[in-house]
Amino acid sequence: MPEPVQLTTFGVTEIEAQQALDRVKVRDVEYADLYFESRTSESVSMEEGIVKRAAKSVSQGVGVRATAGEKTGFAYSDELTKRDLEIAADTARYIANSPKGHSNVPVPTQRRPTHDLYPIEGAKAEVATAERVALLNEIDAEARRYDPRIKNVLASFNTEYKVVVVATSDGTLVSDIQPLSRLQITCIAEDGENRQVGSFGGGGRVAFAYYREDNRHLGYAREAAREAILNLSAVDAPAGVMPVVLAGGWPGILLHEAIGHGLEADFNRKKTSAFSSLIGKRVASDVCTIVDDGTIPFRRGSLNMDDEGTPTGCTTLIEKGILRGYITDKLNARLMGIPLTGNGRRENYQSVVLPRMTNTFMLAGVSDPHDIIRSVKKGLYAVSFGGGQVDITNGKFVFSASEAYLIEDGQITKPVKGATLIGNGPEILTKVSMVGHDLKLDNGIGTCGKDGQSVPVGVGLPTIKVDEITVGGTQR
Amino acid sequence: MLEKTTMPTSANGYAQLAADVLARAKTCGATEADIVVADGETFSVQVRVGAVDRLTKAREKRLGLRVFIGKRSATTSTSDFSRASLDRLVADTCTLAGAVVEDDVSGLPEVGHMATEQPDLDLFDSTVLDTDTQIDWAKRGEAAAFATDPRVTNSEGAEFDSSSGRVVLANSHGFVGSYKSSNFSLSVSPIATESATGGMQRDAWYQVQRKFARLASAESIGQEAARRAIRRLGARKVATKRVPVVFDQETAGSLLANVCSAVSGYGLYKRASFLLDQLGQTIASDLITIYDDGRMVGGFGSRPFDGEGLATRKNTIVERGVLKSYLLDTYSGKKLGLPSTGSASRSVGESPSVGPTNFYLVPGMKSQQEIIGSIKEGLFVTELIGFGINMVTGDYSRGACGFWIENGELAYPVEEITIAGNLKHMLKDIDVVGNDLVFRGRIASPTVKISEMMVAGN
CB contacts under 8 A, A 222-261 vs B, are: 237, 239-241
The three-class DSSP label of residue B457 is coil
Confirm or reject contact between A470 and chain B (CB < 8 A). yes
- pLDDT digits 0-9 by tens, B187-224: 999 999 998 888 999 999 999 999 999 999 999 999 99
What is the pLDDT at residue B5?
36
List the single residue in B80, B99, B270 with the smallest CB-CB distance to A152. B270
Mean pLDDT of A168-172: 90
Contact B57 A386 (CB under 8 A): no
Whether A356 and A345 have beta carbons less than 8 Å apart is answered as yes
**Chain A closest CA to B150's CA: distance in Å?**
17
Percent of chain B with pLDDT over 90: 91
Give A25 or B206, the one with higher predicted confidence.
Answer: B206
pLDDT over 90 percentage in chain A: 77
Mean per-residue pLDDT for B396-418?
Answer: 96
The answer to whether the beta carbons of residues B183 and B120 sit under 8 Å apart is no
Q: What 8-state DSSP symbol labels residue A8? A: G
Among partner residues A91, A392, A473, which is closest to B57 by beta-carbon distance?
A91
Average pLDDT over residues A330-353: 96
Run of H or E residues at A20: helix A14-24
Cβ atoms within 10 A of the Cβ of A236, count?
15
Query: DSSP string spanning B218-236?
Result: HHHHHHHHHHHHHTTTT-B
Residue from the list A154, A420, A475 with its beta carbon closest to the beta carbon of B386: A420
pLDDT of residue B148: 97
Is there a contact between A274 and B200 if contact means CB atoms under 8 Å apart? yes
**Nearest-angstrom CA–CA distance, B190 and B178:** 39
Note the pLDDT of residue A2.
61
Residues with Cβ within 8 Å of residue A141, at least 6 apart in sequence: none
Residue of chain A minimizing CA distance to B42: A75
Nearest to residue A469, comparing CAs of A396, A412, A417? A396
Return d(Cα A123, Cα A116) in angstroms, integer: 14
Average pLDDT over residues A314-343: 96
Q: Which CATH architecture has domain A7-232?
A: 2-Layer Sandwich (3.30)
- A94/B393 Cβ within 8 A: no
H or E segment at A172?
A: strand A172-191
Which contacts qualify for A336-341: CB closer than 8 Å, 24 or more apart? A336/A265, A336/A268, A336/A269, A338/A265, A340/A310, A341/A292, A341/A310, A341/A313, A341/A315
Whether the pLDDT of residue A256 is over 60: the answer is yes
Question: Is A420 within 8 Å of chain B by CB?
Answer: yes
Q: Tell me the chain A residues in contact with residue B382 when contact means C-beta distances shorter than 8 Å.
A: none
Report residue A157 CA to chain centroid gap.
Answer: 18
Asked whether residue B33 carries a pLDDT value surpassing 90, the answer given is: yes
pLDDT band at A419 (very low <50, low <70, confident <90, very high): confident
- For B198, name the nearest residue in chain A, comparing CA atoms only: A274
| Closest CA–CA distance from residue A343 to any residue of chain B (Å) | 19
Residue spans of the domains in chain A: they are: 7-232, 239-472
| Cα-Cα-Cα-Cα dihedral sign, residues B437, B443, B449, B451 | positive
Does the pLDDT value for residue A106 go beyond 90?
no
Residue B8 has pLDDT above 60, yes or no: no
Residues of A in contact with B155 (CB under 8 A): 272
pLDDT, tens digit, 9 for 90 and up, residues B147-182 = 999 999 999 999 999 999 999 999 999 999 999 999
Q: Which chain A residues in 83-122 lie under 8 Å from chain B, judged by CB atoms?
A: 91, 94-95
A128 touches chain B (CB under 8 A): yes
What's the CA gap between B326 and B340, in Å, rounded?
Answer: 9
Q: Structural domain boundaries of chain B? A: 235-458
Q: What is the pLDDT of residues B106-128, one digit of tens each?
A: 999 999 999 999 999 999 999 99
How do residues A444-463 score in pLDDT, each as one tens digit? 999 999 989 999 999 999 99
Residue of A nearest to B350 (CA): A55
Contact A265, A327 (CB under 8 A): yes
Please say whether the beta carbons of B388 and A96 come within 8 A.
Answer: no
pLDDT in tens, B239-291: 999 999 999 999 999 999 999 999 999 999 999 999 999 999 999 999 999 99
Residues 6+ apart with CB under 8 A from B29: B69, B94, B98
**Which residues in chain B touch residue A77, judged by CB atoms under 8 angstroms apart?**
58-59
Question: Is the predicted pLDDT of residue A194 greater than 50, yes or no?
Answer: yes
Q: Do A476 and B240 touch (CB under 8 A)?
A: yes
Mean pLDDT (whole number) for B376-392: 95
**Strand bridging mode A411-416 / A239-246:** unpaired
Q: Which residues of A touch B419 (CB under 8 A)?
A: 472
| pLDDT of A111 over the 80 cut | no
Using the beta-carbon criterion (under 8 Å), do A152 and B95 form an inter-chain contact? no
Residues of A in contact with B352 (CB under 8 A): none
pLDDT for the residue A124: 63
Q: How far apart are CA A397 and CA A423, in angstroms?
A: 6
Mean pLDDT of chain A: 92
DSSP state of A125: S
The dihedral of CA B421, B423, B425, B427: what is its sign?
Answer: positive
- Quote the pLDDT of residue B45: 95
| Interval A38-50 mean pLDDT | 93
Q: How many CB pairs under 8 A join A and B?
A: 260
The burial class, CB within 10 Å (0-12 / 13-18 / 19+), for A375 is middle
Residue B143 pLDDT class (50, 70, 90 cuts): very high
Q: Which of A2-11, B3-12, B81-90, B216-225 has the highest mean pLDDT?
A: B216-225
Q: How far apart are CA B93 and CA B64, in angstroms?
A: 10
The minimal CB distance from B56 to the residues A352, A474, A476 is found for A352
- The average pLDDT across A313-331 equals 96
**Closest to B52 (Cβ–Cβ): which among A51, A71, A274?**
A71
Task: Please state, in angstroms and rounded to a whole number, the distance separating the CA atoms of residues A355 and A398.
Answer: 21
Q: Which of residues 7-66 of A touch B (CB under 8 A)?
A: 10-11, 44, 47-48, 50-61
Task: Please give the pLDDT value at position A123.
Answer: 61
SS (H, E, C) A182-244: EEEEEEEEEECCEEEEEEEEEEECCCCHHHHHHHHHHHHHHHHHHHHHHHHCCECCEEEEEEE
Distance of CA B386 to the CA centre of its chain: 17
A451 at B interface, C-beta within 8 A: no
Residue A427's H or E segment, with its range, is helix A425-428
Pick the residue of A43, A157, A268, A474 with the most B CBs within 10 A to test the interface with B by mutation: A474
Confidence at B6, pLDDT banded by 50, 70, 90: very low
Whether residues B96 and A55 touch (CB distance < 8 A) is answered with yes
**Average pLDDT value for residue range A204-228:** 96
For the ranges B11-20, B222-231, B296-305, the lowest mean pLDDT is seen at B11-20
% of chain A residues with pLDDT over 70: 97
Per the DSSP assignment, residues forming a β-bridge with B169 are B36, B177
For residue A424, pLDDT beyond 80: yes
Residues 6+ apart with CB under 8 A from A13: A7
B287 compared with B6, residue with greater pLDDT: B287
pLDDT at residue A132 tops 70: yes
Q: How high is the pLDDT of residue B282?
A: 98
- Cα distance from B152 to chain A (closest Cα, Å)? 12
| Average pLDDT of span B282-303 | 97
Q: At what angle do helices B131-148 and B218-230 cross, to 10 degrees?
A: 40
Chain A: closest CA distance from residue B285 (Å): 21
Q: What is the mean pLDDT of chain B?
A: 94
